[in-house]
Structure 1
Amino acid sequence: MQKIIADLKRKQQIFADDGAKVSMLRILMADGTSANIIYRCMRWCATHRLGLVAYFFQWLNKLVNGCVIGSGANFSSGFVIMHPIGIVINSKVIGGHNITLESGVVIGDEKGKSPCLENNIFIGSGAKIIGQLSIEDNVKIGANAVLTKDAKYGSTMLGIPAKAYLKNNKGTNL
């Protein structure tokens, strides 16, 4: 329950940072919140050896929200799903605090190896993160980016394959 409350408060903070002070009731009604809550219920069941019930919650999330999150995927508090449609997360994925996902994000396995996400990460719509990658703190991954290599601290990853976006003194890409 503590993680659910932390997730909801973080989502409320994201809205506030965008200039929209919304009530907790509005957050409960927001797109993606049910996917978050169902994920947390599934994860609780999985960690308490209630595999069949966890599978039910996984199926429910797919049916209601159009997203598939493996029961072994483990995200710390502050996990926010803004828009759940098309999200697919492998069971071996580990995520730190304050991870935000948009629609169509895939975080997947390659040859038995899955990504590890640290803290304060934003993943834009349609982004793909595949294989044994490390996504360090404070990383932003742009819409439709495809990560095939690690993302270093504080970087903004854009493109296919994704590369770190940098600005020189004139504001143009390097």
Structure 2
Amino acid sequence: MENIKADFRRKQEIFRLDGASVSMLRIVMADGSSANIIYRWMRWCANHNLGLLAYFFQWLNKLLNACVIGSGAEFGPGFVIMHPVGIVINSKVKGGSNITLESGVVIGDEKGKSPRLGSNLFVGAGAKIIGDLEVADQVKIGANAVLTKSAEEGATMLGIPAKAYRRKPAEVEQ
């Protein structure tokens, strides 16, 4: 239950940073919140050797939210699913805290190896993170980017294949 509260507080913070002061009731009713709740219930069941019940919640998330998150996938507090449709996450994925996902994100396995995600990440709509790689803290992955190599701390990853975007000195905020 603590992780669900942390997830929703983080989602409320994201809305606030976008200029919308919304109630917790609005957050609970927002797109993606049911996917977060079902994911956390699934993880609780998986952690307590209730595999069949965990599988039921995985199936329920696919049915209700059109997203598939493997029962072994682990995310710290502040995990936010903004729009769940099309999200697919492999069961071996491990992630830190404050990870935000948009719709259509795929975080997948390649040859038995899955990504390891740091904390304070944003993953844009349609982005793919595939294989044995590490995404460090404070990384932003742009919409439709395809990440097949590790990303350094603070990077903004764009393109296919994704590469770190560097601002020109004139673009740096004063």
Regarding TM over 0.5, the answer is yes
**Corresponding position: 1:27 with 2:21:** no
Give unpaired runs (5+ residues) of structure 1.
none
Q: TM-score, normalised by structure 1?
A: 0.98
In the alignment, what sits opposite 1:8?
8
In the alignment, what sits opposite 1:160?
160
CA RMSD of aligned residues (A): 0.9
**Corresponding position: 1:57 with 2:60:** no
In the alignment, what sits opposite 1:44?
44
Q: How does 1:86-165 map to 2 (within 5 A)?
A: 86-165=86-165
Deviation per CA, 1:90-122: give whole Å up to 9, x if none.
Answer: 000000000000000000000000000010000
Q: TM-score, normalised by structure 2?
A: 0.98
The code of the aligned residue for 1:57 comes to: F
Deviation per CA, 1:134-155: give whole Å up to 9, x if none.
Answer: 0000000000000010000000
Deviation at 1:169, TM superposition (A): 1.6
Q: Provide the C-alpha distance between the structure 2 equivalents of 1:129 and 1:69, rounded to a whole number of angstroms.
A: 14
The code of the aligned residue for 1:119 comes to: S
Deviation at 1:168, TM superposition (A): 1.8
Deviation per CA, 1:54-87: give whole Å up to 9, x if none.
Answer: 0000000000000000000000000000000000
**Corresponding position: 1:82 with 2:82:** yes
Number of equivalent positions: 172
The code of the aligned residue for 1:144 comes to: N
Q: Provide the C-alpha distance between the structure 2 equivalents of 1:96 and 1:37, rounded to a whole number of angstroms.
A: 18
Task: Report the secondary structure of 1:170's partner residue.
Answer: helix
Give unpaired runs (5+ residues) of structure 2.
none
Task: Report the secondary structure of 2:49's partner residue.
Answer: coil
The code of the aligned residue for 2:18 comes to: D
